[in-house]
Amino acid sequence: HPEHPIQLVIAGKSHPADDAGKKMIQDLVRFTDDPKVRHRIAFLPNYDIAMARTLFPGCDVWLNNPLRPLEACGTSGMKAAINGSLNLSVMDGWWDEMYDGE
């Protein structure tokens, strides 16, 4: 929206044996290189704890969209909540346990 633009910062790393996950990241990287969206989407490769420490405090909304029921626990979402971010997630991992229906 022209009056309320958003910036998406996407960070991730797939498991070395997850070929579908690796392909999804490759497709995402190609998409972020499109001149129409390049100024609004940034992909940060090799997500790790050090990167998370930088991302959590500056995040307004934490998006967590794992494939159900494959999310082990979703601790990133917990850390984002502790840092004051809103969580937008599918019902999996920690969110499935904490969501109260409201």
Residue 15 pLDDT grade (very low, low, confident, very high; cuts 50, 70, 90):
confident
Q: What mean pLDDT comes out for the span 5-11?
A: 89
What average pLDDT does range 82-101 have in this prediction?
Answer: 80
> How big is the chain, counted in residues?
102
Can you give the pLDDT at residue 28?
A: 93
pLDDT at position 72, please? 65
Helix H, strand E, coil C: the string for 19-74 is HHHHHHHHHHHHHHCCCCCCCCEEEEECCCHHHHHHHHHHCCEEEECCCCCCCCCC
Span 37-89, pLDDT tens digits: 999 999 998 888 899 888 888 888 888 777 777 666 677 888 888 888 888 88
Return the pLDDT at 19: 93
Residue ranges of the domains in the chain?
1-47, 48-102
